[in-house]
């Protein structure tokens, strides 16, 4: 991570190019949202970088600046957008198809959105079985495809006059695979690219191309992508930040809010049943059992890590946790999540909590993309490299070094994020002890 206290961070001057592998509902909702905000048509609700504050010093000091004023972050006006997709639709057409943002708002942004056309994607249907498209790259090997992506990145940077770049994966969930020998080292991985090894996924080719060029890379899906030894080795070599996995949006967001509360009050858990209906492209992709397996793994790990059954066996040992996602086209991007939570209280008496979250998947994800782009760019300028665990706040399955369990408690994650910002500025960390007020 190479985190330093009071480090001199290079200013966020000039243009920041944001590259988005996968220009579907999430990416176009993010792009259109930023365009709308910088034209004064909407507010950046949900974005910590744009609306959040950070306390400095003691409570009576009343030093609570906006995060965007406290640390050097790129301005929204300095952003330019690009990406790749297996469909040729420009950002306006893709946003219309996604059906997330109302037509009246999109029409006000039509010209800017139409100018954003996706580059041809690296795609292999064996990894996303429910999708197919012909706006894809052809190459003699997976290394050739990676080199084509690097050419795209350089061309985009030069064409738009970008001073810096970041990449945020907004593409589909790939089928579940465990790492193999080809992922174990950079040398093995590069040899695998040259040999077009079957175990190298398209998302890993994107991660390789970005990190090879020193472009910070954040993975918004549960794919392994950058979470393999080979890419982490490359990130160290190139001094590049990486982060992931899987945007923490609907149902899992609620779990990381509710589960810490149950644990804080020492309330037991018998079972947590979660089901979703979702009709967008993500729902279609997850209708494939192998892709759903990738999502299921990130979703199921949350409660175990928060509740720590091994340390609280009387409260949490052996609880039942079930997760389902059902593809239901009429719902579109408006996902509905139902949770039935069976808890136990004093003397073991049973109680229940019911949650019905009618959320908008891409509306929740878009501000995460914005914050990650800005914070990953900040990390690069602050000299951080490798896994950015301080950004766990945004992930269902945060990346950590081997042997270290991830922190899933949303409130601990937020404290970690803000303390990291304080640390880079050389300010005191906030512990909330408060003993000094009573001396």
**Residues 12-32 pLDDT 10s:** 999 999 999 999 999 999 999
First to last CA, the chain: 37
How far apart CA 233 and CA 188 sit, in angstroms, is 11
Predicted confidence at residue 295, as pLDDT, reads 65
How far apart CA 201 and CA 21 sit, in angstroms, is 13
pTM above 0.85, yes or no: yes
CB atoms within 10 A of CB 125: 13
pLDDT digits (tens, 9 = 90+) for 241-250: 999 999 999 8
Residue 239, CA atoms < 13 Å, CB-side half-sphere: 9
Q: Report, as ranges of residue numbers, the positions in the chain whose pLDDT lies below 50.
A: none
Predicted confidence at residue 332, as pLDDT, reads 81
CA distances from 206 to 213, 230, 234, 394, 412 (A): 11, 13, 13, 21, 31
Predicted confidence at residue 308, as pLDDT, reads 96
How far apart CA 127 and CA 134 sit, in angstroms, is 15
Predicted confidence at residue 331, as pLDDT, reads 83
How far apart CA 418 and CA 430 sit, in angstroms, is 9
Predicted confidence at residue 248, as pLDDT, reads 96
Tokens coding 178: 């465990």
Predicted confidence at residue 298, as pLDDT, reads 67
Q: Name the helix (H) or strand (E) containing 340.
A: strand 336-344
Helices and strands (DSSP H and E) totals, the chain: 16, 11
Q: What is the dihedral of CA 23, 26, 28, 31, to 10 degrees?
A: -110
CB atoms within 10 A of CB 55: 15
Q: At what angle do helices 229-238 and 186-194 cross, to 10 degrees?
A: 110
User: Coil, strand, or helix at residue 408?
Assistant: coil
Predicted confidence at residue 387, as pLDDT, reads 98
């Amino acid at each position: 991570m190479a985190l330093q206290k009071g480090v001199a961070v290079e200013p966020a001057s000039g243009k920041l190019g944001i590259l988005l592998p996968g220009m579907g509902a999430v990416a176009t909702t993010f792009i259109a949202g930023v365009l709308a905000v910088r034209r004064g048509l909407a507010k950046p609700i949900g974005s910590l970088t744009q609306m959040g504050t950070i306390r400095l010093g003691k409570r009576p000091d009343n030093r609570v600046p906006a995060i965007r004023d406290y640390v050097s972050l790129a301005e929204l006006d300095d952003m330019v957008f690009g990406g790749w997709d297996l469909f040729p639709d420009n950002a306006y057409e893709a946003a219309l198809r996604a059906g997330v943002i109302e037509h009246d708002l999109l029409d006000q942004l039509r010209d800017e959105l139409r100018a954003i056309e996706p580059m041809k994607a690296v795609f292999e249907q064996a990894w996303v079985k429910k999708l197919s498209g012909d706006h894809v790259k052809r190459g003699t090997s997976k290394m050739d495809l990676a080199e084509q992506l690097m050419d795209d990145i350089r061309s985009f940077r030069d064409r738009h006059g970008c001073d810096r770049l970041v990449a945020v994966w907004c593409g589909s969930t790939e089928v579940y695979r465990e790492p193999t020998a080809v992922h174990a080292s950079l040398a093995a991985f590069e040899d695998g690219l040259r040999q077009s090894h079957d175990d190298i996924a398209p998302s890993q080719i994107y991660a390789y191309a970005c990190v090879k060029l020193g472009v910070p890379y954040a993975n918004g899906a549960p794919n392994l992508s950058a979470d393999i030894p080979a890419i982490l080795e490359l990130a160290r070599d190139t001094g590049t930040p990486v982060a992931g996995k899987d945007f923490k949006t609907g149902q899992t967001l609620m779990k990381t809010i509710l589960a810490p509360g149950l644990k804080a009050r020492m309330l037991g858990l018998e079972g947590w049943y979660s089901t979703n209906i979702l009709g967008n492209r993500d729902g279609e992709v997850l209708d494939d059992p192998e892709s759903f397996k990738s999502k299921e793994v990130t979703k199921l790990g949350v409660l175990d890590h928060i509740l720590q059954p091994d340390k609280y066996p009387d409260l949490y040992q052996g609880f039942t946790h079930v997760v389902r996602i059902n593809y239901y086209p009429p719902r579109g991007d408006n996902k509905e999540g139902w949770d039935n939570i069976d808890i136990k209280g004093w003397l073991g008496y049973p109680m229940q909590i019911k949650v019905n979250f009618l959320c908008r998947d891409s509306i929740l994800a878009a501000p995460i993309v914005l914050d990650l782009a800005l914070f990953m760019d900040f990390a690069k300028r602050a000299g951080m490299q490798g896994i950015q665990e301080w950004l766990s706040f945004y992930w269902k399955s945060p990346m950590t070094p081997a042997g270290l369990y991830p922190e899933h408690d949303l409130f601990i994650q937020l404290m970690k994020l803000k303390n990291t910002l304080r640390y880079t500025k050389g300010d005191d960390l906030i512990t909330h002890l408060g003993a000094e007020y009573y001396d």
